[in-house]
Amino acid sequence: MRFRAIIVNSFSVLPRVSRALLPLFLVTAVFSQASSGNLEEQAALVTEFEVNGLKVLVKKRPSAATVAAGLFIRGGARNVTAENAGIESLMLETAVEGSANFPREELRKRLANTGTEIGAGINSDYSVLSMGSTREHFQESWRIFADIAMNPKFDPADLERVRERILTGLREAETDNDNFLEILQERIVYRGHPYSTDVRGTLQTIPKFQVKDLRGFHGQVMQTSRLLLVVVGDVDAEEFRGWVERSLGNLPKGGYDPAAVPEIKIEKPALDITRRQLPTNYVQGVFNAPGLGHQDYYPMKIAVAILQAQVFQEVRVERQLSYAPNAELNTNAANTGFIYVTTVNPNEAVGVMLDEMETLKNRLVNERFLSGISGHFLTLHYIDQETNAAQARELAKYELIGGGWRNAFLFLDKIKAVRPEQIQAVARKYFRNIHFIVIGDPAIIDRSVFVGQTDAAGN
Task: For residue range 243-273, list pLDDT tens digits in order.
Answer: 999 999 999 999 998 888 999 999 999 999 9
Q: Is the pLDDT of residue 32 over 60?
A: no
Q: Please, which residues have CB within 8 angstroms of residue 157's CB and are 6 or more apart in sequence? A: none
- Count of alpha carbons within 13 Å of 32, Cβ hemisphere only? 19
Q: Using one digit for the tens of pLDDT, what is the confidence trace for 339-392?
A: 999 999 999 999 999 999 999 999 998 888 887 777 777 777 777 788 999 999
CA distance 42 to 28: 22
Q: Is the pLDDT of residue 417 over 70?
A: yes
pLDDT band at 37 (very low <50, low <70, confident <90, very high): low
In this structure, the chain runs to a length of 459
Least confident of 82-96, 97-111, 244-258, 364-378: 364-378
Q: Is the pLDDT of residue 3 over 70?
A: no
Start and end residues for every CATH 3.30.830.10 domain found in the chain: 19-37+262-451, 53-250
Which amino acid is residue 80, in one-letter code? V
Q: Environment class of residue 431 by beta-carbon count within 10 Å: exposed (0-12), middle (13-18) or buried (19+)?
A: buried
Nearest to 291 by CA among 83, 459, 125, 455: 125
Q: Give CATH for domain 19-37+262-451.
A: 3.30.830.10
Dihedral sign of CA atoms 230, 234, 238, 240 in order: negative
Q: Considering only the top CATH level, what class is 53-250?
A: alpha beta
CA distance 221 to 74: 9
Quote the pLDDT of residue 382. Answer: 75
CA distance 90 to 182: 21
Mean pLDDT confidence for 207-211: 98
pLDDT band at 316 (very low <50, low <70, confident <90, very high): very high
CA distances from 210 to 81, 90, 122, 275 (A): 17, 10, 20, 37
- Dump strand ranges (E) for 208-304: 227-233, 270-275, 281-288
Backbone angles phi, psi at 284, to 5 degrees: -135, 125
Q: Please, which residues have CB within 8 angstroms of residue 401's CB and are 6 or more apart in sequence? A: 125, 126, 261, 291, 292, 293, 331, 332, 333
CA distance 245 to 233: 19
Q: What is the DSSP string of 64-116?
A: -SEEEEEEEEE-GGGG--SSSTTHHHHHHHHHTT-BSSS-HHHHHHHHHHHT-
Mean pLDDT confidence for 311-331: 94
Nearest to 261 by CA among 188, 190, 334: 334
Helix (H) or strand (E) holding 390: helix 388-401
- Dump strand ranges (E) for 216-267: 227-233
Quote the pLDDT of residue 23. Answer: 35
CB-CB contact of 190 with 70 (8 Å): no
Give the global pTM.
0.89
Mean pLDDT confidence for 312-321: 95
Q: Please, which residues have CB within 8 angstroms of residue 309's CB and are 6 or more apart in sequence? A: 6, 17, 18, 20, 21
Helix (H) or strand (E) holding 292: none
- In percent, the amount of the chain with pLDDT more than 90 equals 80
193 three-state secondary structure: coil
CB-CB contact of 356 with 314 (8 Å): yes
